C-alpha cells in the first residue's frame, strides 16, 4: 500500500510515516530529557566524560521510535529494528575486513566500546537501526519497489548480489595483478580506492540494466542520505562526549567526522538495508 497513516486511511505517503514518527518521538523525547535535567538541576547531560548509560539515555529516542511504529503502524518494525541493528554491525565488520585487504590504516577508528579490532562497536546498534529506517523511507519515497518475488533469477536482490560478488572477485584479481608488491604497505591511493569501489559500480550498472534505471537514482539518494545523516549524528554526539564516536582516516572531512570515501559505501549500504526491509515485507 503506497498510502496510509499509522495503520489508518488518511492520505500520507508511506515513505513519510516513519519520518513523521521519528520526528515526533525524537522531539518529545529530547524535550522530556532536557526538562528532566533542568528540573533536577543536573549537569550530567552537559559533561563530556563518556559513560555507557549516558549514551543509551541520550539515544533513547531510537528504540522509542520503533516501539511507536510497531504499535501504531506495523508490528514488523520491531523485528526490523533488531535485525537492522545486528546486520549493521555485521556489515561494517565485513566492510572493515574488505578494506584491510586494500588499505592500511583501517577506514575508521571507534573511540568507545569497539569490537573485533575496531571494525565495529557495541554502541552502534541504535544508530544502525535509525539509519536502516531512513533508507527504508528513502526507497519508499523514490518509489523503487523490489517486488514480492525476491529470490527469482531476475529479482533486484539476486541481480545485485551476483553483480557485487562478481565485481568483488574481479577487483581482488586486479589488485593482485596490478599491485603485487604492495600487500604489506597497502597504501591508500585514488586509483586503488576506485578499484575498491568497482563492485559497487558493477552493482549499480547491473540493477539499472537488468531491473530498472531508477536504481541509479535510488543508490545516489542512499549515498547522500547516509553521508549527511552520519555526519549530523556524529557531530551532534560530539557535543556530549570528549572524543568523537569515530574518526575516519582517509580523505577526511571536518577532522574525520566524515569522509569522501563514505559516499559510494553508503550507496551500497542503503541497498543492503533496503533488501532487509524487503525480506520483512516493509519495502
Query: In the structure, what pLDDT confidence band is assigned to residue 2 with cuts at 50, 70 and 90?
Result: very low
| Amino acid 184: pLDDT | 67
Check if the beta carbon of residue 276 is closer than 8 Å to that of residue 83. yes
Check if the beta carbon of residue 244 is closer than 8 Å to that of residue 238. yes
- pLDDT (tens digit, 9 = 90+) per residue, 88-112? 999 999 999 999 999 988 999 999 9
Residues forming a β-bridge with 248: 108
Q: Which of 61, 27, 195, 236 is CA-nearest to residue 133?
A: 61
Q: Does pTM top 0.85 for this prediction?
A: yes
Q: Cell triple for residue 213?
A: 534505471
| Amino acid 126: pLDDT | 97
- From residue 83, alpha-carbon distances to 22, 56, 128, 139, 268 in Å are 18, 19, 10, 18, 18
Lowest mean pLDDT among 69-78, 149-158, 265-274: 149-158
9-23: average pLDDT: 86
Residue 86 has pLDDT above 50, yes or no: yes
Share of the chain above pLDDT 90, in %: 80
H or E element that contains 233? helix 214-237
| Amino acid 173: pLDDT | 94
- pLDDT (tens digit, 9 = 90+) per residue, 33-50? 999 888 877 777 778 889
Residue 203: exposed, middle, or buried by beta-carbon count in 10 A (0-12, 13-18, 19+)?
A: buried
Residue 8 has pLDDT above 50, yes or no: no
| pLDDT, greater one: 87 or 181 | 87
Amino acid at each position: 500500500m503506497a498510502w496510509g497513516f499509522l495503520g489508518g486511511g488518511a492520505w500520507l505517503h508511506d515513505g513519510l510515516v516513519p519520518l513523521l514518527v521519528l520526528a515526533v518521538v525524537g522531539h518529545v523525547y529530547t524535550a522530556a530529557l532536557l526538562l528532566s535535567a533542568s528540573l533536577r538541576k543536573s549537569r550530567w547531560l552537559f559533561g563530556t566524560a563518556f559513560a555507557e548509560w549516558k549514551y543509551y539515555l541520550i539515544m533513547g529516542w531510537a528504540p522509542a521510535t520503533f516501539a511507536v511504529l510497531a504499535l501504531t503502524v506495523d508490528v514488523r518494525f520491531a523485528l526490523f529494528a533488531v535485525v537492522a541493528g545486528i546486520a549493521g554491525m555485521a556489515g561494517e565488520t565485513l566492510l572493515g575486513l574488505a578494506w584491510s585487504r586494500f588499505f592500511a590504516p583501517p577506514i575508521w577508528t571507534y573511540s568507545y566500546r569497539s569490537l573485533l579490532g575496531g571494525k565495529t562497536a557495541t554502541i552502534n546498534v541504535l544508530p544502525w537501526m535509525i539509519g536502516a529506517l531512513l533508507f527504508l523511507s528513502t526507497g519508499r519515497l523514490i518509489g523503487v519497489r523490489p517486488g514480492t518475488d525476491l529470490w527469482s533469477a531476475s529479482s533486484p536482490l539476486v541481480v545485485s548480489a551476483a553483480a557485487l560478488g562478481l565485481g568483488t572477485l574481479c577487483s581482488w584479481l586486479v589488485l593482485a595483478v596490478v599491485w603485487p608488491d604492495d600487500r604489506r604497505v597497502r597504501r591508500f591511493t585514488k586509483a586503488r580506492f576506485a578499484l575498491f569501489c568497482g563492485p559497487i559500480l558493477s552493482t549499480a550498472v547491473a540493477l539499472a540494466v537488468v531491473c530498472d534505471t531508477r536504481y541509479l537514482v535510488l543508490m545516489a539518494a542512499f549515498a547522500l542520505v547516509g553521508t549527511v545523516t552520519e555526519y549530523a549524528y556524529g557531530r551532534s554526539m560530539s557535543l556530549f562526549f570528549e572524543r568523537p564516536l569515530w574518526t575516519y582516516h582517509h580523505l577526511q572531512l571536518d577532522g574525520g567526522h566524515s569522509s569522501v570515501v563514505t559516499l559510494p559505501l553508503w550507496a551500497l549500504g542503503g541497498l543492503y538495508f533496503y533488501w532487509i526491509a524487503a525480506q520483512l515485507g516493509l519495502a
